[in-house]
Amino acid sequence: MSDTDPWLPRWLPLLRECADDGPVLELGCAAGRDTATLVEAGLRVVAIELSSDALTQARERVPTGAEFHCGDFRAAWPLAEGAMVGAVLASLSLHYFAWDETLALVRRIHRALQPDGVLLCRLNSVNDLHHGARGPSASGRDEDFFYVVDGISKRFFDRAAVERLFADGWALQHLEEVRVLRYDEPKVAWEAVLRPTPSSATGS
């Protein structure tokens, strides 16, 4: 069966260069689809996933080369105290939270990245109409693009919101709105590559 969402391979050279001999930190690995691509490319992975069912599938799909942890990645990450990584992957996993929580996560990623590291992420687009980019609003403010979708709060981003999320402490090297075909209906998402720069935010 062909891969209907072959998004990651073009970024593997960059991830390999930035991770060097360290692991890629994967925030929200789901059933291990991207984890498998990383491991097959010779990268080590430390992956965090909230769903125990998805994590069981990930462990079956990637029996070696990855270290899996079940939990909420808003909690402490399974890294040694003071440890930093060269690469963080967050594909379709950073958009479930209130804006202040999302900002806090982005600042934590910034602190965890080595100065020459990279964050590769995908975020829901406001044009993702097949997958919930319409009301009701989870915050009560429609301009937030934070909606309740099948009982789960999900945030959707326009270009300005992506740029605002990464305004402090990040150099946005690539931002592209992409069409993902692996679901029952086409999905629209933002694909972003970011490098850390000095941040003015308190605690960053």
Helix (H) and strand (E) counts in the chain: 5, 9
How much is the pTM? 0.91
Q: What is the mean pLDDT of residues 38-49?
A: 97
Residue 202: which pLDDT band, with cuts at 50, 70 and 90? very low
Q: What is the mean pLDDT of residues 30-54?
A: 96
In degrees, to the nearest 5, what angle opens at C-alpha 57 toward C-alphas 30 and 76?
45
Place of tokens 């079940």: 70
Contact 150, 159 (CB under 8 A): no
Q: Sign of the CA dihedral 30, 24, 175, 159?
A: positive
φ, ψ of residue 122 in degrees (nearest 5): -130, 140
Q: What is the mean pLDDT of residues 119-141?
A: 79
Which helix (H) or strand (E) segment is 189 a member of? strand 187-196
Q: What is the mean pLDDT of residues 171-190?
A: 91
Mean confidence (pLDDT) of the chain: 90
Flag whether pLDDT at 119 surpasses 50: yes
Flag whether pLDDT at 36 surpasses 80: yes
Contact 116, 18 (CB under 8 A): yes
Q: Which residues contact 100 (CB under 8 A, 6 or more apart)?
A: none
What distance lies between CA 139 and its chain's CA centroid? 22
Q: What is the pLDDT of residues 58-111, one digit of tens each?
A: 999 999 999 999 999 999 999 888 889 999 999 999 999 999 999 999 999 999
Q: What is the mean pLDDT of residues 18-26?
A: 96
pLDDT at 92: 95
Q: What is the mean pLDDT of residues 2-21?
A: 90
Flag whether pLDDT at 1 surpasses 50: no
pLDDT at 147: 87
Q: Which strand ranges, in their side-by-side order, compose the sheet holding 85-91?
A: 66-70, 45-49, 24-27, 85-91, 113-124, 187-196, 170-180
